[in-house]
């Protein structure tokens, strides 16, 4: 275990994915990190039921949705994790309720962690202007055009905004991504209480 089991005790962390296409490792590994640190992860999506993750391009496992973004109150969450994959963030950025949820969490000053293609959802939520992020390399131009600064790093923690933004590039970066966001989520939640 990388953190004390009480690091995120009392904190509820939203994980937002589309009904299809979240990269499974980028959902399950951060989920486990939150749980190991004593937090309560909750899966949100744009539709009720189950979501189907992917392992790159192959179908992965399904996961039960705890609530839809339409019924979820962003104020109930201490932080937000946006897993990547190509299809999930692309779907989320076209869903007005998902975009509004992400925008509200970002504007509130609560911490957000996004990996791989999840930056697309942040772009649509107007949450990257003036921020420094990393992502899957193909999103570099999208982020620059949205007013962000892009860096090629395993993990980048940006504090130039209302809340901390933790970003990473790909599944291989998950260990450092998880260390960074668990630490930042713990600090941010302590300040809110």
Residue 1 has pLDDT above 70, yes or no: no
Spell out the domain ranges in the chain. 12-188
The confidence score (pLDDT) of residue 190 equals 55
The confidence score (pLDDT) of residue 172 equals 97
Q: Which one is catalytic: 91, 106, 116, 158?
A: 116
Q: CA–CA separation, 36 vs 145, rounded Å?
A: 37
Q: Whole-prediction pTM value?
A: 0.96
Spell out the CATH class of 12-188: alpha beta
Q: Bridge-partner residues for 155, per DSSP?
A: 168
187 as an active site residue: the answer is no
In 3-state terms the chain splits into helix, strand, coil percentages (rounded to 5) of 40, 25, 35
Q: Which one is catalytic: 56, 91, 103, 117?
A: 117
> pLDDT tens digit string along 21-54?
999 999 999 999 999 999 999 999 999 999 999 9
The confidence score (pLDDT) of residue 188 equals 79
Between strands 20-23 and 79-82, the pairing is: unpaired
């Amino acid at each position: 275990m990388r953190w004390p089991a009480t690091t995120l005790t009392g904190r509820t962390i939203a994980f937002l994915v589309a009904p299809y296409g979240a990269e499974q490792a980028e959902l399950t590994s951060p989920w486990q990190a939150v749980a190991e640190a004593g937090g309560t992860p909750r899966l949100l999506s744009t539709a009720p039921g189950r979501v189907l993750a992917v392992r790159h391009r192959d179908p992965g496992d399904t996961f039960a949705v705890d609530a839809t973004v339409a019924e979820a109150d962003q104020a109930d969450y201490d932080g937000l994790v946006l897993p990547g994959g190509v299809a999930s963030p692309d779907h989320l950025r076209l869903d007005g309720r998902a975009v509004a949820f992400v925008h509200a969490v970002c504007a509130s000053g609560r911490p957000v962690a996004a990996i791989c293609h999840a930056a697309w959802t942040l772009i649509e939520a107007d949450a990257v202007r003036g921020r420094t992020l990393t992502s899957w390399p193909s999103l570099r131009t999208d982020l620059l055009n949205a007013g962000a600064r892009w860096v090629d790093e395993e993990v980048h923690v940006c504090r130039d905004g209302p809340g901390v933004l933790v970003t990473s590039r790909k599944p291989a970066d998950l260990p450092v991504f998880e260390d960074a966001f668990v630490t930042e989520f713990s600090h941010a939640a302590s300040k809110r209480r």
